[in-house]
Amino acid sequence: SLSLSLLRRRPRGNGDDDDDLDGALRPFLALGGPDDLDAFLTDLLGVIEGLEFHKRTDTALAVFAWARRAHGDARLFSGGGGPVVPAVISILGKRGRLSDAAALLATLREQGCHPDVYTYTSVITAYAQNGRYRDALKVFDKMTEEEEGCRPTLITYNVVLNVYGKLFMPWKKVMSLLESMKRDGIFPDRYTYNTLISCCRRGSLYEEATQIFEEMKSMGFAPDKVTFNSLLDVYGKSRRHKEALGVLREMEANGFPPSIVTYNSLISSYAKDGILEEAMELKEQMEKKGIKPDVFTYTTLLSGFEKAGKDKSAEKVFDEMLSKGCSPNLCTYNALIKMHGNRGKFENMMTIFEELRSSGFVPDVVTWNTLLAVFGQNGMDSEVSGVFKEMKRAGFVPERDTYNTLISAYSRCGSFDQAMEIYKRMLAAGIGPDLSTYNAVLAALARGGLWQQAEKVVSEMKECNCKPSELTYSSLLHAYANGKELERMHNLSEEIYSGKVEAHNMLIKTLVLVNSKSDLLVETERAFSELRKRVCSPDITTLNAMISVYGRRQMVGKVEEILLFMKETGFTPSLTTYNSLINMYSRMGDFERCEKILREIKSRGGRPDLYSYNTVIYAYGKQGRMKDASRIFSELQASGLKPDIVTYNTFVASYVANAMFVEAIDLVRYMVKHGCRPNANTYNSIVDGYCKHGRKEEATAFISNLPKLNPGISKDEQIRLLERLGKIGS
């Protein structure tokens, strides 16, 4: 046959040799006359598919190019492209040659041919296989325009539904597409139902997934392994662990033994919810059944321990993974980047990033989003912008997840306006909000204590049929706490305890955090006690919250109980842990212990932040040990950190408390010179200090001379200080 003769041709260079195809294909040219074009296209399709089957892709494409030259596009494509064009587009898609596939579709249109449904479906599939989901939808929209008059097939709908799932389209849109499909007289098959269940993962839509599962069975489709694994994953992501185990039992009862995919899904659901002992038990159970943990198993456990703050356990999992000959994948490196970044170990983080590249991996969108999140959490907004630029330079088009991460990152940096600008940019790019977007916006509002706006967002979510998650309510609690709206916070807390709002473990943890932040000891202990009753163990953030609330009251015994629990259960103290301890001992006047903790942070590879240094400076200043305070100040500057207004005001207050007014005023002069603008607290400390020491005339002189000290001071500020002085005097 012709395809065999082409296969036997000896290549004379690298790759397939397509020279002199005219000679080899001359007998084929006899076909394709006015009356036998269909026969010619059928034979051409057979040759191309035969060559592709034998991995002679370049020769297959060369044969197609020859056919275009020999017969002309107008004639070859007169039937809308079928059956050859869909096969060629499929080959181009597998090769990642999407521009060539798009050009072929454009040529059909230029020739006045209406591409058939198979051609369109092959282009949509090519884009989808290469992660170009929005381009796939643009082709689908073009296909379904009235002027084209091309009705999708079951395969088309299934591909587009899968694309909807990849883009985390709102469930309302998924259902709308399903209704369009049914209106066209096309009924779902098993693949459709499996895809619909998978679409429920993102929004934790376990009720919707259950409904689809039941409909599937009622329509006579028996669930297969993919169905059970997808449903189990939805339950896992929805934190419905009992239901997930129920699916496992039903799966086994139907003759589908659980696979590595099944166990990985279960382990992931437990690990993400902080139920790590059970996650490890599932790993052991799977090993007993002869199923070896793979890189996904280990990476999931590593991420779970990292999130809980159990770095030693995370490292132990990583070591076991390497000892079993299981090589890290990109997800593993991403998890390690996150672990080091969250602990402020930026050098280690960037070392892992370079190791990722040297191991032959290319950073993916998760890598970039992780770096954005880490820098955002640490208030490093210039680094956030730098990473975003680098990401775009690497060819990544921002998708919803990146926009969501940027909104969170900028809001953590305190750049709320920038966060909202990113949100507007996302909408302008035609990307609608999903549950994660709403939650990112809510988290930004929560940080600013903007509870009224947060309530409006929750109302908007409900109106758009976007079901609030535990993260939604968590942000609402933080918004109330930061906005000092304690009555609303209490009311929502009671709804959680009563079960009106489902009491997820995350929400109980949040109750510990917001009550600690609001300095409500009894309420914090109630939430912590509720958490301890549950299967889920406290994580590092809840333990830090307990240390903080006890530390503010100098309840050393209680703090030591928490620290002992952390040590016994494998928790690694974080910077927040150390800062809470420094704060407690500074309140107690134990400056030596404060500095000792500062040294411990460094000895463990951590990096003290401004709060760490400011609190130690405060501890020394409070005891009048200004030389030691100045020494810590020099250390702060040497670390690369820039003193802020809190640093300077701590010094000013300490100098004033020790009647060192010359030094206090010199420091104000130093502040102005180095671009740190004194605020009302700076001036209040000095004026109040003079009055406290019975030196009111010097306070008046200080206010009068302020324009010389700080030329930028306003007249209104001077008037305010004089009024303050008058009130103190009276």
Dihedral class, residue 607 (left if φ above 0, else alpha if ψ from -120 to 50, else beta):
beta
> For residue 131, what pLDDT is reported?
87
How far apart, in whole angstroms, are the C-alpha atoms of residue 340 and residue 606? Answer: 10
pLDDT at res. 549: 96
Q: Report pLDDT digits (tens) over 142-155.
A: 888 755 568 899 99
388 in a structural domain: no
pLDDT recorded at residue 20: 56
Say if residue 673 is in the same domain as residue 635.
no
Nearest residue to 540 (alpha-carbon basis) of 515, 570, 507, 581: 570
- Looking at residues 208-215, what average pLDDT do you find? 94
Can you tell me the mean pLDDT for 292-299?
94
The closest of 222, 162, 215, 171 to 192, measured between CA atoms, is 162
Q: According to the model, what pLDDT value does residue 17 have?
A: 47
Same structural domain, 615 and 663: no
Whether residue 658 lies inside any domain: the answer is: yes
Checking phi first, is residue 257 left (phi over 0); if not, alpha (psi -120 to 50) or beta?
Answer: beta
- 296 vs 76, which has greater pLDDT? 296
Residue 280 in any domain: the answer is no
Instruction: Give the residue-averaged pLDDT of 509-521.
Output: 96
- For residues 637 and 652, state if they share a domain: no
Give 272's pLDDT tier (boundaries 50, 70, 90).
confident
Domain check: are 666 and 698 in the same one? Answer: yes
Instruction: Identify the residue with better confidence: 402 or 545.
Output: 545
Asked if the model's pLDDT at residue 26 lies above 80, the reply is: no
Indicate the range of 201-210, 238-247, 318-327, 412-421 predicted with least confidence. Answer: 412-421
Please say whether the beta carbons of 358 and 328 come within 8 A. Answer: no
The reply to whether 611 and 632 lie within a common domain is: yes
**Lowest-pLDDT range, 187-191, 280-284, 350-354, 401-405?**
401-405
**Each residue's pLDDT tens digit, 118-130:** 889 999 999 999 9
Asked whether 313 and 570 are in contact (CB, 8 A), the reply is yes
Instruction: Flag whether 669 is in a domain.
Output: yes
Both 655 and 616 in a single domain?
no
Q: Of 628, 650, 587, 637, whose CA–CA distance to 608 is shortest?
A: 637
Query: What is the Cα–Cα distance from 151 to 174, expressed in whole angstroms?
Result: 18
DSSP state of 433: -
Please report whether residue 142 resides in a domain: no
Instruction: Sort 526 into a burial class: Cβ within 10 Å, 0-12 / 13-18 / 19+.
Output: middle
Mean pLDDT (whole number) for 13-26:
51
**pLDDT for residue 148:** 57
Model confidence at 540: pLDDT above 50: yes
Instruction: Looking at the structure, tell me whether residues 726 and 674 fall in a common domain.
Output: yes
Tell which residue, 683, 208, 203, 256, has the closest CA to residue 436.
203
**pLDDT of residue 542 exceeding 90:** yes
CA distance 636 to 609: 9
Phi/psi of residue 537, nearest 5 degrees: -85, 155
pLDDT given at position 284? 93
Tokens of 164: 């909807």
Q: Which of 618, 642, 666 is the last residue of a domain?
A: 642
State yes or no: pLDDT of 536 exceeds 70: no
Nearest to 237 by CA among 215, 212, 204, 273: 204
In the predicted model, what is the mean pLDDT of residues 671-682?
A: 91
- Which residues 6+ apart lie within 8 Å of 289 measured at CB? 258
DSSP 8-class letter at 324: T
Select, from the ranges 100-104, 199-203, 562-566, the one with the highest average predicted confidence (pLDDT): 562-566
Region 440-446 average pLDDT: 89
Number of residues assigned to the chain: 730
Q: In terms of domains, do 581 and 661 share one?
A: no
Residue 376 in domain: no
Distance between CA atoms of 487 and 478, rounded to whole angstroms?
13
Q: Please check whether residue 22 lies inside any domain of the structure.
A: no
Q: Which residue has the higher pLDDT, 482 or 388?
A: 482
Instruction: Name the region of 114 (left: φ>0; alpha: ψ -120 to 50; beta: rest).
Output: beta
| Residues 698 and 728 grouped into a single domain | yes
Residue 152 preceded by cis peptide, ω within 30: no
User: For residue 22, what pLDDT is reported?
Assistant: 56
pLDDT in tens, 282-292: 999 889 989 99
Distances in Å between the Cα of 485 and the Cα atoms of 237, 354, 448, 452 are 31, 46, 13, 10
For residue 728, the model assigns a pLDDT of: 80
Residue 401 buriedness (CB in 10 A; 0-12 / 13-18 / 19+)? middle
Tens digits of per-residue pLDDT, 469-498? 899 999 999 999 999 999 999 999 999 999
* 634 and 675 fall within a common domain: no
- Residue predicted with more confidence, 252 or 578: 578
Those residues whose C-beta lies under 8 Å from the C-beta of residue 636, and which sit 6 or more positions away, are 610, 613, 617, 643, 647
DSSP H helices, 111-224, are: 117-129, 133-143, 154-166, 171-183, 190-199, 206-218
CA within 13 Å, CB half, 444: 28
Percent of the chain with pLDDT over 70: 93
Q: What is the share, in percent, of the chain residues with pLDDT greater than 90?
A: 48
Distance CA 445, CA 447 (A): 5
Q: What mean pLDDT, rounded, does the chain reach?
A: 87
Domain that holds residue 581: 560-642
For 302, the 3-state DSSP assignment is: helix
- What confidence category does residue 79 fall into, taking pLDDT thresholds of 50, 70 and 90? low
Instruction: Give 569's pLDDT tier (boundaries 50, 70, 90).
Output: confident
What is the per-residue pLDDT for 13? 45
Number of domains the chain is built from: 2
How many angstroms separate the first and last alpha carbons of the chain? 111
Cα–Cα distance measured from residue 462 to residue 513, given in angstroms and rounded to the nearest whole number:
26
Q: Which of 601, 626, 642 is the C-terminal boundary of a domain? A: 642
Q: Which residue has the higher pLDDT, 120 or 108?
A: 120
Confidence of residue 561 (pLDDT cuts 50, 70, 90): very high
Is residue 328 in some structural domain? Answer: no
Position 10 pLDDT exceeds 70: no
CATH number of the domain enclosing 680: 1.25.40
Residues 635 and 653 in one domain: no
What is the pLDDT averaged over residues 239-253?
A: 87
711 phi, psi to nearest 5 deg? -60, -20
Q: Which two tokens stand for residue 510?
A: 């949040």
Domain boundary among 642, 659, 684: 642
Residues 6+ apart with CB under 8 A from 186: 152, 153, 154, 157
Give the per-residue pLDDT at 535. 66
- Clarify whether residues 591 and 662 are in a common domain: no
Higher per-residue pLDDT: 59 or 526: 526
DSSP assignment string, 361-425 = ----HHHHHHHHHHHHHTT-HHHHHHHHHHHHHTTPPP-HHHHHHHHHHHHHTT-HHHHHHHHHH
